[in-house]
Amino acid sequence: MNQQWQMAAVLVAASLTAAPVLAQNTSSGLSADTRQKLAASMEKGAAYLKQQQHADGTWENHPGITAMAATALLRQTGVPKANALATTGKTLDALAKLAKPDGGIYDKDIPHYITAVSVMALVAGGRPQDKPLIEKGRRYLADHILDEGEGISPSDKLYGGIGYGGNAGVSADIISLEYGLRAMKEADLPANDPAWEKAIKFLQRTQNNSETNDQTWAANDGGFIYYPGNSQIRDTTRSYGSASYAGIMSYSWANVKKSDDRVQAVLKWVRNNYTVDENPGLGQKTLYYYYMVFAKALQATGESVIVDARGQRHNWREDLGRKILSLQHPEGFWVNEDRAEMQDNKVLVTSFTMMAMQAILQ
C-alpha cells in the first residue's frame, strides 16, 4: 500500500513581534450556508458508499478500504450510532474475523496498516464485544514500533517508526506511523507506554528542523518528509503538505505539548504553505488524503482562522468546505484526476473527503 494511507496538534499564537501565527479561536467560523451545504453533501457521499457496499459489509475486496469506509460512516456528523451500525455492523464483523492470535487484524498484506485502520473502525463502532480485539490490536501496533526487538538501535534513522509490515520488510514512514499512533491513541494505549517516546525519536528525524533532528540533511523550515532522508518530492528532502500535517497529528498523539519547539516549528511551515488548491510540494497527487489530514489537524488545534506569514487571514473551514463542495460529482462521490496512490478509487477518496468534512463541521 502506498503513502496516501496517510491528526492533530495545537497551533499557538506568537507575540506581536514574532512572525504571524494562527489567530485565536472564537467560534467555528463556518457560515450557516456552507454548513448546511456540507451536511447535504456528506449525506450524498454516505449514500454513495452504501450503494457500493457488498452484501457481506465490505468494500472493494480490500480490508483497508473497508475499514476506512466504515469509519467514515460511523463518524458521520449528525447520524445516530445505532443507524450507522445498521449499515456497518456486518463490516465490523468482517474485520473482527481477520483478528490474529498476536493481536493483528489483517488478511495477508500490509498487516500494520490494516491493523491500524481496523482498530480505528472498531473503536468508532463502540461495540462492547470488540473491546478485547481493540486492546490486542493496540498492543500489536505498539510492539511493532521499530526498536531493539527488530535489531534496530536508537541511532538508526528508522528507530521508533513503523511501516506497512509484511512484504515491506523493515521500513517506516510518517504516514504509516500517524495511522498507527492514531489507532493506539484512540484505543487508549497508556501515556507512559515506551512506544510513544520511541515514536517521537522517529518524528524528530523526519522533520526538517535542524534544532532537534540529528540527521545531516535536515533543513529548518519545520515541515516533514516521508521518512528520514527521503521526500515524496523526488530526489530531495523537501517538506511537503500531507507529511507535514501527519507530523502535526503524530506529535499530538505522542503527547507532545503545543508549546514544544518541535510543534511550533511545523506550525511555521503551515503558515508559509497554506492552500486548499493542492497538496503543497506534490500538486494534485494524493490531494484528498491531504484534505483529510489538513482538516483533522487544524480542527484539533481549536483554531478557526490562520494568519499566514504575509499577514493574510484564512478561514480554513470556509475555504476547504467550499472547495470540497465544488469537487463532488453528481453521483455523490469524489475522485482525483491524478490516479497516483489509488486516488482513482472512488470509495477510498470519498471516505477521505467525508472525514475531512466531519472535521470541518466540528
Number of domains composing the chain: 1
DSSP structural state of residue 163: -
Is residue 3 domain-resident?
A: no
What are the residues whose beta carbons fall under 8 Å from the beta carbon of 101, sequence distance 6 or more?
A: none
Least confident segment among 25-29, 74-78, 156-160, 325-329: 25-29
Is residue 64 domain-resident?
A: yes
Is residue 2 domain-resident?
A: no
Q: Identity (one letter) of the amino acid at 71?
A: T
| CATH code, domain with 207 | 1.50.10.20
Check the CA dihedral 336-338-339-343 and report its sign: negative
For the chain, the average pLDDT equals 92
Is residue 294 domain-resident?
A: yes
Is residue 27 domain-resident?
A: no
The arithmetic mean of pLDDT across residues 188-215, rounded, is: 98
**Residue whose cell numbers read 462492547:** 128
Neighbours of 43 (CB within 10 A): 16
CA atoms within 13 A of residue 282's CA, in its CB half-sphere: 27
133: pLDDT confidence band, cut at 50, 70 and 90? very high
208: pLDDT confidence band, cut at 50, 70 and 90? very high
pLDDT of residue 141: 99
Is residue 81 domain-resident?
A: yes
Q: Residue 308: pLDDT above 60?
A: yes
Cβ–Cβ under 8 Å, residues 65 and 352: no
What's the pLDDT tens digit per position in 55-67? 999 999 999 999 9
Grid coordinates standing for 181? 499512533
**Residue 285 backbone zone (phi > 0: left; psi -120 to 50: alpha; other: beta):** beta
294: pLDDT confidence band, cut at 50, 70 and 90? very high
Whole-model pTM? 0.91
H or E segment and range at residue 92: helix 81-96
Q: In the chain, how many H helices and how many E strands?
A: 12, 2
What's the pLDDT tens digit per position in 34-81? 999 999 999 999 999 999 999 999 999 999 999 999 999 999 999 999
| 23/308 Cα distance (integer angstroms) | 9
Is residue 8 domain-resident?
A: no
Is residue 175 domain-resident?
A: yes
Give the residue numbers spanning the domain of 115: 32-361
304: pLDDT confidence band, cut at 50, 70 and 90? confident
Grid coordinates standing for 272? 508559509
Cβ–Cβ under 8 Å, residues 253 and 181: yes
Angstrom CA distances, 298 to 10, 28, 89, 338, 351, stand at 8, 11, 31, 25, 18
